[in-house]
Homo-oligomer: A and B are copies of this chain.
Amino acid sequence: MFCGVDIGGTNAKVGLVDKSGCLVDHDTVKTALYETPADLVLTLAYTILRLAKVNRVTIEGIGVCCANACALDGTVENAANLKFKQKFSLTELFRTYFPDTPIAVDNDANAATLGEQHYGKAKGLDDFLFVTLGTGVGGGVVCNKKLVYGFNAMAGEIGHIIVEPHGRPCGCGRKGCIERYVSAQGAVDTYFEICRENHIEPKTDRYRELAALALASDPQALQTYGQMGYHLGRFLANLACVTAPTHIFLFGGVAQVGDILLEPTRRAFNENLLFCYKDSIKIELSGLMDSSTDAAVLGAAALLFR
């Protein structure tokens, strides 16, 4: 039995995952209650041991994912969504309680990519891209069945590819990153632009409400996803030239609207794709989308397959 731990800003999720990718049991820890990484990991370790005892299983490996975690040394530094800004080693903290258990640490996008590969729709695929669309935009690049890490384990930072050189300012200090157009906040910004152009008062400034408006066929909200799909499709057509994947999986809160985003994305993708890849690359929703708890924990557990 593997254990997957997904450390988010609000909650940390702990789950027991069997080798077929079935979530056997799980629990949640409120991340924000803890003042130090050591305190948080103590509670996570306790939760893991309790779950193992209740379910009468042996933990054969622990996979931990967290924003900004580095796969090379298991450290986390300056994670945007955590209280603790100083650098700390997740591997070392977990090792205190599990000295003989394999421990794998990585960022959330890489974990989800491996989750897709081992438990989702990417089983058996050689070459695919995994794109997370949420608060931020991230990704995982799989070539020859292997996740690409690059020299600093920061490959796949595709959210910060610049698509509009003089475009919207990005938190990374530059302008026009794709993240500023197809993330949750990017969607809201586009919606505001469209409302302004149409001299209409925006109905919301929150992403979840915008998504609900689109699902309810609000014209400006639908137009927002049309524009997002246009940006995303063009972007993915360019990305396809680098590694020639067979599949591109979309994951995360923003992808949950489904066809409202998928259709314009596929249209722009096909319009902009180089002839030699035509009709050969599928854009699909991730196979891990059904339950957000499961996806994160499965992804974390899948780190043990690296």
Enumerate chain A interface residues (CB-CB to B < 8 A). 126-127, 141, 143-144, 146, 148-158, 160-162, 165, 172-174, 234, 237-239, 241-246, 272, 274-277, 280-281
Contact = CB atoms under 8 A, between A and B. Distances in A.
Contact of A242 (B156, B275, B276): B156
Given A144-B146, A174-B272, A151 B242 contact: no
Given A157-B274, A172-B274, A275-B173, A151 B244 contact: yes
A73 B153 CA distance: 33
Nearest to A237: B162
Leading 7 A-B pairs by shortest Cβ distance: A150-B244, A155-B244, A151-B246, A157-B241, A161-B238, A143-B148, A160-B274
A276 to B, nearest CB: 5
Nearest to A174: B272
Nearest to A125: B151
A158 B243 CA distance: 9
A203 to B, nearest CB: 30
Contacts of A155: 127, 143, 241-244
Nearest to A170: B274
Contacts of A144: 146, 148-149
Contact of A157 (B127, B143, B150, B276): B276
A306 to B, nearest CB: 12
Contacts of A274: 157, 160, 172, 174
A218 B174 CA distance: 33
A148 to B, nearest CB: 5
Contacts of A243: 141, 148, 150, 155, 242-243
A262 B74 CA distance: 36
Contacts of A172: 274-275
18 contacts: A127-B150, A127-B155, A141-B242, A143-B143, A143-B146, A143-B150, A143-B155, A152-B277, A155-B243, A155-B244, A157-B241, A157-B244, A160-B241, A161-B241, A161-B242, A172-B275, A173-B275, A242-B243
A246 to B, nearest CB: 5
Nearest to A244: B150
A152 B244 CA distance: 7
Contacts of A126: 151
B127 A151 contact: yes
A278 to B, nearest CB: 11
B162 A272 contact: yes
A277 B156 CA distance: 12
A274 B154 CA distance: 11
A150 B242 CA distance: 9
Given A149-B244, A151-B244, A174-B272, 9 more contacts: A127-B151, A143-B143, A148-B243, A150-B243, A155-B244, A156-B244, A157-B241, A160-B241, A161-B241
